[in-house]
Amino acid sequence: MKDLQSMEMFKSEIQSGTTVIMFSADWCPDCRVIEPFLPEVEAKFSQIDFIYANRDQFIDLCAELNVFGIPSFIAYHHGQEVHRLVSKDRKTQEEIENFLTDALSKC
C-alpha cells in the first residue's frame, strides 16, 4: 500500500483505474486491528491500487470528503467516487472485502 504524500498525489492517483484510499492514523486502535489482514485483502483485490492516507496529515482532505471516523475507505474509478465505507466503527475483513467487491461492481 502506498502512502499518500500530497494533495497532488491524491488527485493524480484517483484519475486512472480503480483506487481505494484508506484513511487511518497510528494512534487508532481499530486501525491497528485490521493491519494484519490488509496484505491478504490487497493480494485478493490486486486490480485495485490501495493508498494509505494518514488522517492527521490530511485532515483538510478528510473534512472535504466527510471522513469523520477511521478506519474508512473511499473507492474511486477514473477520478469519480464510486463507493465508500466511512464510519468510526471497527471493520472486519469480511466487511472490507464486501465493500471492495461492491466497489468493483460499480466500475
CA 99 to each of CA 6, 12, 45, 47, 79: distance values in angstroms, whole numbers, following the listed order: 25, 23, 11, 14, 18
* Active site annotation includes 28: yes
Q: Could you say which of 28, 53, 65, 67 is catalytic?
A: 28
Q: Could you say which of 31, 48, 70, 103 is catalytic?
A: 31
d(CA 56, CA 100): 24
Instruction: Name residue, grid cell 484519475.
Output: 15
* Active site annotation includes 107: no
Q: Which residues are catalytic?
A: 28, 31
